Chain A
Amino acid sequence: MNNKNFFGITDTILFLSIICISFFGLILLYSATNQDIDLVFRQGTRLGFCFILMFMIGSININHIKMIAPYIYIVCIFLLVITILWGHDSKGAKRWIVFFGFSFQVSEILKIAVPLMLAWFLSLDEDKNFDLKKLLFSFLIIFLPILLIIKQPDLGTSLIILLCGGITIFLGGIKKKHIAYLLGSLVIIIPVMWKFFLLPYQKQRVMTMFDPTSDPLGSGYHIIQSKIAVGSGGLFGKGFLNGTQSQLEFLPERGTDFIFAVFAEEFGFIGILILFLFYLILIARCIHIVGNAKNYFSKIIAGSITSIFILLIITNISMAIGVLPVVGVTLPLLSLGGSSLLSIFIAFGIIFSVNRRN
């Protein structure tokens, strides 16, 4: 294998597809932010930083990553507590902490830290069956950060982390019996959550997903405008910088949550298929790496990362076309934002590191 290439780049095709998509993300951002070139430069700088980080992680031995996994997890939990205590307020929620002038969303990192911790835990005694003790510990690992994130409050991200953790324990071999029990209890828990834990704005978001026209100027506005943007893109799109929904600012959160709508409006259905092709190449390479992974930890973490990556794409796009409520998930590699970008590149760094050992 061409694994000892350059820095941590152990798979050229994967690397090139990451480069292609993220570079295209910058171009798309230029359109989404009404030609705000400064903002694009800032994002480019972040991207450069993330690439360097990815190289660095990629060149670490995966066993070393396994060794430090619990410490990463503990640091993240610590940072979450700090966020809740001294976090930065935004729209009534404390989600950010400020680090040397950079604002940082710890919950984004947990999308990768939780699977990492679980993979470490499950590979401690990898030969043993997935018994109740394993299940309880896994739950502890998943729910400790989730409870802290719900406290912020940020229900969307907690749900995503729950899914990320769920993916890892599913791959880790959770018993079918337990899956059935868990799904069964969800049926009971969801109505209770709805009644006692959801804040009114969260309920509103879910409700408007089912009927966006019920509140066309309030929370339904985002979904309606986003669907219009996507739909009016048609087969070939309106062309770069010609999307009226995005350029005339009918579309909200264009750089972050709804960047897919900008893309769909300007590049159309054909453009989406091409984008999906790039994503497919990237994912196919990841699966290939998973298949070649030499140890259990590598397999679990690389498999989780690959699945989570697909899950995030599906969630973001579903959000943009009104299939899922607006939960604040970015589109991997395309959306504006530092923390989510960071966690994605850490994840790819781990993938490269896994491939190194193959």
Chain B
Amino acid sequence: MRRSFLDFSRVNTEKLFEKRLSVLISILLILTILLIGRLYFLQVISYEHFETLSETNRIKHIQIPPRRGIIYDRNNMVLADNSSLYSVEINIKEATNIKKIITAVDEEIGLTKEEINIFFKKKSKYSHHNVVTLKNNLSDAEIAKILSIRYKYDGLDVTASLLRRYPYEKITNHVIGNVGYIDKKDLSKLNKKKYKGSKYIGKTGIEKYYENILHGEPGSKHVEINARGRQVRDIDEKRPSPGQDIHLTLDVELQKYMYSMLSDYVGSSVVMNPKNGEILGMVSVPSINPNRKLWKFSVNNDEEIKKLKSPMFNRSINGLYSPGSTIKPIVALNGIQNKIMDPEKEYYAGPYYQLPNSSRRYRDWKEEGHGMVNMQKAIIQSCDVYFYMLADRLGIDKIENFFEYFSFGEKTGIDMPYESFGVLPSKEWKNKNIGDKWTKGDTVITGIGQGYFLTTPIQLAYATSIIANKGEIFIPKLNKNLKIKKNNKIKEREFFLKNNINSDDWEMITEAMFKVVNQKNGTAYWTTKNKKNNIAGKTGTVQVYSLSQKTNEREKDNIPDHLKDHSLYIGFAPKENPEIVIATIIENAGSGSKYAAPISNKIINYYLDEIRERY
């Protein structure tokens, strides 16, 4: 019985086992089928979704920046090009320990404290870039050293990039301008797609003005990357199209000469071809080497540059100066055009001019006065009293109206960014900007280009070209291929100047300017011995510091440098059929005839004798 019970029980447990096993296997089988269903969903139904995810995982789109266009002068001399530059860079996103990487790089190639500081500054300033440069301009040996440790540090890399190079350094700095890192301000304005792979953007000068032409179209490529972000291979590539080259009207030989003439001073000189508005030379001093600025990143710490007076300031288009006596020929034309004064009639010009009912004396630069002068003599000797009188008779409205024809108080329209307007004073202007009524005294000193009148060197050169052309106007330009069509405003001005001033009067004025340089009592007579180029010119001396009525000459020598007079000169040559126009300003040097005039005449002679000869 017991045994049979046991037997029965044994069968029972085995049956239970078999039942249990089939239940368990069934459950597991159902789970497996569900799993296969899930796999079917992932691999067959959602295949495309995961395929896309997998592709985006491994494929990276890389922008290839275009080669920036090269800038040439008129004779195909390179003024700005690109050189290969190898730099150590750290990808902030990929790097796990930036400090460790820097230490490792320092051990290999050595870093200065400044380089490390700059790296961290850049890291915070350009936080929108993932990649920040640690050291630029690597030598071959340094490249090899970094490449040998690169595999140890994610995010560390050596990259080749094209760096802008300016072979003429300081000489062309202001006119060419320079490129700089794209900062957040640039980023808000530019086409992000176009600049995704670019590091630099034109910041000033031609580089800025022609940024769209110079930059070019970026290319791109797809590369396969692994999980650590390293590029494994290229998949496809669209080559970038390089930026267009630009040929400037500048003649770098002339530019070099101009720079050498001015480099000891503070000021600017602009040389232009009056026949077509081409700028042949444009110098602003002091200047800095733009190459250094790019490499070292920080100019602010450079002691040598700190000593200079506003070296980043382009005086040629932004420097505002009273034109002084250089505008006397235009005031004279104004008198002729308005028939206020007979050019032939002689007036007595004493030591000073006085307005009726006023005790204030408007003194002539020549203490004893010029005696009897007609218009031509007044220009030749730069007689202040004659022009005080002429301005007084014209009145400010007529002066303002006439000077507009010479484009004072507005941009010349040269192809440079940020050009200044200058100030052409008027009743309205004074009321608005000074908050005061215009006085007759204001008019009187406007007649000799003092007071509120402010011009830039480019404006003076432009106005001088209009005189040289006897009323024909060419807007100044730097890009040789730029075709400027004269707009209606310019055409109206030309029409006015040619029809309201007859050629005899133009001739009289240019003759007067010719005599300034070529007649013994001319203010610029002694400034050049070489008279064969028939230079016509006009000096100007601008008081920075108004000497009191009773100051005598001897005390003038004791005034500090920064209050000394600005020295100005405008000129063109040859007198008939002029080929060159110049406007030069030397800050705080002294009288026009002593500095600006001799320098300008040397430049004119150099151009006509040395450079023009070669063409």
Seen from chain A, the residues whose Cβ lies within 8 Å of a Cβ on chain B are 126-128, 167, 170-173, 225, 227-235, 244-245, 248-250, 264, 268-269, 272-273, 276, 287, 290, 296, 299-300, 303, 306-307, 310-311, 313-314, 317-318, 321, 323
CB–CB A173/B225 < 8 A: no
Partner of A234, one of B14, B25, B43, B55: B43
CB–CB A127/B43 < 8 A: no
A248 to B58, CA, bound (A): 7
Task: Enumerate 5 A-B pairs (CB-CB under 8 Å) in ascending A order.
Answer: A128-B9, A234-B43, A235-B43, A249-B227, A250-B227
CB contact under 8 A between A317 and B35, given known A170-B20, A227-B42: yes
CB–CB A244/B43 < 8 A: no
CB–CB A171/B42 < 8 A: no
A272 to B33, CA, bound (A): 12
In the A-B complex, the 10 residue pairs with the smallest Cβ-Cβ separation, listed nearest first, are: A231-B50, A232-B54, A249-B227, A248-B226, A269-B43, A127-B9, A232-B50, A310-B28, A231-B42, A234-B47
Within 8 A of A (CB), among B3-43: 6, 9-10, 13-14, 16-17, 20-21, 24-25, 28, 31-32, 35-36, 38-40, 42-43
Q: Please indicate the chain B residues that have their CB under 8 angstroms from the CB of A303 in the complex.
A: 17, 21, 24
Q: Please indicate the chain B residues that have their CB under 8 angstroms from the CB of A296 in the complex.
A: 10, 13-14, 17
CB contact under 8 A between A249 and B57, given known A170-B24, A276-B36: no
Residue of B nearest to A279 (CB): B32
CB–CB B47/A167 < 8 A: no
Partner of B39, one of A229, A272, A310: A272
A249 to B232, CA, bound (A): 12
B224 contacts partner chain A, Cβ-Cβ < 8 Å: yes
B152 contacts partner chain A, Cβ-Cβ < 8 Å: no
B228 contacts partner chain A, Cβ-Cβ < 8 Å: yes
The A-B contact count (CB < 8 A) is 124
A225 to B226, CA, bound (A): 13
Residue of A nearest to B47 (CB): A234
CB–CB A314/B20 < 8 A: no
| Interface 0/1 of B228-246, CB less than 8 Å to A | 1000100000000000000
B397 contacts partner chain A, Cβ-Cβ < 8 Å: no
CB–CB A244/B58 < 8 A: yes
A167 to B53, CA, bound (A): 39
B434 contacts partner chain A, Cβ-Cβ < 8 Å: no
CB–CB A228/B57 < 8 A: yes
Partner of B24, one of A126, A171, A269: A171
In the complex, what's the smallest C-beta–C-beta distance from A26 to chain B, in angstroms? 23
CB–CB B224/A171 < 8 A: no
In the complex, what's the smallest C-beta–C-beta distance from B31 to chain A, in angstroms? 5
CB–CB B20/A321 < 8 A: no
B532 contacts partner chain A, Cβ-Cβ < 8 Å: no
A229 to B28, CA, bound (A): 25
CB–CB B43/A268 < 8 A: yes
CB–CB B20/A173 < 8 A: yes
CB–CB B20/A248 < 8 A: no
A306 to B57, CA, bound (A): 39
CB–CB A171/B227 < 8 A: no
B96 contacts partner chain A, Cβ-Cβ < 8 Å: no
A244 to B60, CA, bound (A): 13
A299 to B24, CA, bound (A): 14
CB contact under 8 A between A234 and B44, given known A126-B13, A171-B20, A314-B32: yes
CB–CB B39/A264 < 8 A: yes
Partner of A127, one of B10, B50, B224, B228: B10
CB–CB A231/B46 < 8 A: yes
In the complex, what's the smallest C-beta–C-beta distance from A90 to chain B, in angstroms? 21
Q: Please indicate the chain A residues that have their CB under 8 angstroms from the CB of B35 in the complex.
A: 314, 317-318, 321, 323
| Residue in B42, B43, B47 whose Cβ sees the most chain A Cβ within 10 Å | B43
Apart from the given pairs A231-B50, A264-B39, 15 other A-B contacts in the complex at a CB distance below 8 Å? A171-B20, A173-B17, A228-B54, A231-B49, A231-B51, A234-B44, A249-B228, A272-B36, A300-B17, A303-B21, A310-B32, A314-B35, A317-B39, A318-B35, A323-B38
| Number of residues from B at the complex interface, CB < 8 A | 38
Q: Please indicate the chain B residues that have their CB under 8 angstroms from the CB of A317 in the complex.
A: 35, 39
Q: Please indicate the chain B residues that have their CB under 8 angstroms from the CB of A268 in the complex.
A: 43
The SS class assigned to the A binding surface is: helix
In the complex, what's the smallest C-beta–C-beta distance from A341 to chain B, in angstroms? 22
CB–CB A171/B40 < 8 A: no
Q: Please indicate the chain A residues that have their CB under 8 angstroms from the CB of B36 in the complex.
A: 272-273, 276
A126 to B11, CA, bound (A): 10
A128 to B51, CA, bound (A): 58
A51 to B31, CA, bound (A): 30
A269 to B42, CA, bound (A): 9
In the complex, what's the smallest C-beta–C-beta distance from B218 to chain A, in angstroms? 26
A295 to B38, CA, bound (A): 39
| Residue in A228, A250, A311, A313 whose Cβ sees the most chain B Cβ within 10 Å | A228
Partner of B226, one of A172, A234, A249, A272: A249
A310 to B33, CA, bound (A): 12
CB–CB A321/B39 < 8 A: yes
Partner of A248, one of B10, B46, B224: B224
In the complex, what's the smallest C-beta–C-beta distance from A115 to chain B, in angstroms? 13
In the complex, what's the smallest C-beta–C-beta distance from A173 to chain B, in angstroms? 5
Partner of A299, one of B14, B53, B227: B14
Partner of A230, one of B9, B32, B50, B227: B50
CB contact under 8 A between A228 and B53, given known A276-B36, A303-B17: yes
CB–CB B39/A248 < 8 A: no
Q: Please indicate the chain A residues that have their CB under 8 angstroms from the CB of B40 in the complex.
A: 269
A126 to B6, CA, bound (A): 10
CB–CB B227/A231 < 8 A: no
A170 to B23, CA, bound (A): 10
Q: Please indicate the chain A residues that have their CB under 8 angstroms from the CB of B47 in the complex.
A: 231-232, 234-235
Residue of A nearest to B49 (CB): A231
A286 to B173, CA, bound (A): 87
Partner of B31, one of A234, A264, A306, A314: A314
Residue of A nearest to B9 (CB): A127
CB–CB B57/A314 < 8 A: no
Q: Please indicate the chain B residues that have their CB under 8 angstroms from the CB of A128 in the complex.
A: 9
CB–CB A245/B57 < 8 A: yes
Residue of A nearest to B24 (CB): A307
In the complex, what's the smallest C-beta–C-beta distance from A317 to chain B, in angstroms? 6
In the complex, what's the smallest C-beta–C-beta distance from A225 to chain B, in angstroms? 8
CB–CB A232/B51 < 8 A: yes
Residue of B nearest to A34 (CB): B226
CB–CB A230/B28 < 8 A: no
In the complex, what's the smallest C-beta–C-beta distance from B38 to chain A, in angstroms? 6
A249 to B228, CA, bound (A): 8
Residue of A nearest to B12 (CB): A127
CB–CB A314/B28 < 8 A: yes
CB–CB B42/A321 < 8 A: yes
A233 to B50, CA, bound (A): 8
A273 to B17, CA, bound (A): 30
A171 to B27, CA, bound (A): 13
A323 to B34, CA, bound (A): 11
A250 to B51, CA, bound (A): 14
Partner of B25, one of A231, A264, A287: A287
Within 8 A of A (CB), among B404-437: none
CB–CB B38/A127 < 8 A: no
CB–CB B43/A307 < 8 A: no
| Residue in A231, A287, A299, A310 whose Cβ sees the most chain B Cβ within 10 Å | A231
Q: Please indicate the chain B residues that have their CB under 8 angstroms from the CB of A272 in the complex.
A: 36, 39, 43
In the complex, what's the smallest C-beta–C-beta distance from B161 to chain A, in angstroms? 27
CB–CB A167/B54 < 8 A: no
CB–CB B43/A264 < 8 A: yes
CB–CB A311/B28 < 8 A: yes
Residue of A nearest to B51 (CB): A232
A245 to B224, CA, bound (A): 12
Q: Please indicate the chain A residues that have their CB under 8 angstroms from the CB of B21 in the complex.
A: 171, 287, 290, 303, 307
Q: Please indicate the chain B residues that have their CB under 8 angstroms from the CB of A249 in the complex.
A: 226-228
A128 to B13, CA, bound (A): 8
CB–CB B44/A244 < 8 A: no
Q: Please indicate the chain A residues that have their CB under 8 angstroms from the CB of B14 in the complex.
A: 296, 299
Q: Please indicate the chain B residues that have their CB under 8 angstroms from the CB of A323 in the complex.
A: 35, 38
